[in-house]
Amino acid sequence: AHVLAFTTLQTNNVQSLPFIPKQKTCLQQQQLGTFEPLNIPTQQSSSSSSLQEEERSIAFYNYSSTTPIPYEPMWNMQKKLLQCHLNRLSSSSSSSCNQFLSVEDTSILTTLNGYNIHSSESHTHSFQDKDAIIMLQHTPVYTLGTASDPNYITSQDNVDIIRIERGGEVTCHAPGQLTVYPILDLRGYRQDIHWYMRALEECILIALEKAGVQGATREEDLTGVWVQNKKIAALGVKVRRWVTMHGLAVNVEHSCVSYFVGIVPCGLVGRQVCCINDFLDEPMSVAEFSVCMKEAMEEVFEVALVEV
């Protein structure tokens, strides 16, 4: 499988960025599409309903309350899980339904102590090729999409820069921000990338409402979520054979906002960013907000997240 190599750059290596002529970048109007609920039919009997819930269970790797994690090991974890999906799809015995956890998989997940993401060893269990969602905080990093303009990085200030295989312009990850990476086979949801992007935005909108943030909205012709004309969440994804990687980031604590001063977030000149705690009387932690996001994602994608 071909994946783009990444490069980590320090302050004294700015000239190593790919050359792009210094000119004003015009963001094209996006084909946004709309969000429509999946409304997956439920079984009539209670026993059948329980079976359906088991059939739509997915793995939940929740590192939101741990020490912020460098970008590289989580990127590698995403690629590993994506490749397991691709291997499953290449198997002659594969089918769309086996992207979800079996009862045996669920039992294994609930008894594991966790996955050491810093280890080079991979899981040997069968659920590596199942749908999964990862939540975490990153150490400070600026990420560039495949066609991002590095001129939107105005100051590195000892923050790493990594070019990755997602869409979108430059964005920032830092402690105090919840980053979410869904590794999902869209065959089990809707095979429509525009729908998927709107579904991620819907997760953010629902989670913000659960957290007590009022007035969060989409904005016409732009990807992301906004509160009082300031961007609170960004999205950028990669889809291969209908399997997703990368995802979304929501600014929760004030500590993450300061890192955005070194970039033009998402290439939107003159636009400001904000965080959840700008709008709450009682501050919320990233770990606390992850509970809201988990519930929102279960609602939107109609799945049960089973924590490792």
- Whether 140 and 173 have beta carbons less than 8 Å apart is answered as yes
Q: Please indicate whether residue 84 is annotated as part of the active site.
A: no
**At which residue do the structure tokens 């190599």 appear?**
5
CA–CA separation, 208 vs 90, rounded Å? 38
Residue of 84, 172, 256, 266 marked catalytic: 266
**Six-digit token string for 115:** 């996955």
CA–CA separation, 37 vs 225, rounded Å? 18
Q: What dihedral angle (degrees, nearest 10) is formed by the CA atoms of 64, 256, 20, 244?
A: 20
* SS3 sequence of 137-171: CECCEEEECCCCCHHHECCCCCCEEEECCCCCCCE
- Whether 275 and 257 have beta carbons less than 8 Å apart is answered as yes
Report the catalytic residues. Answer: 266
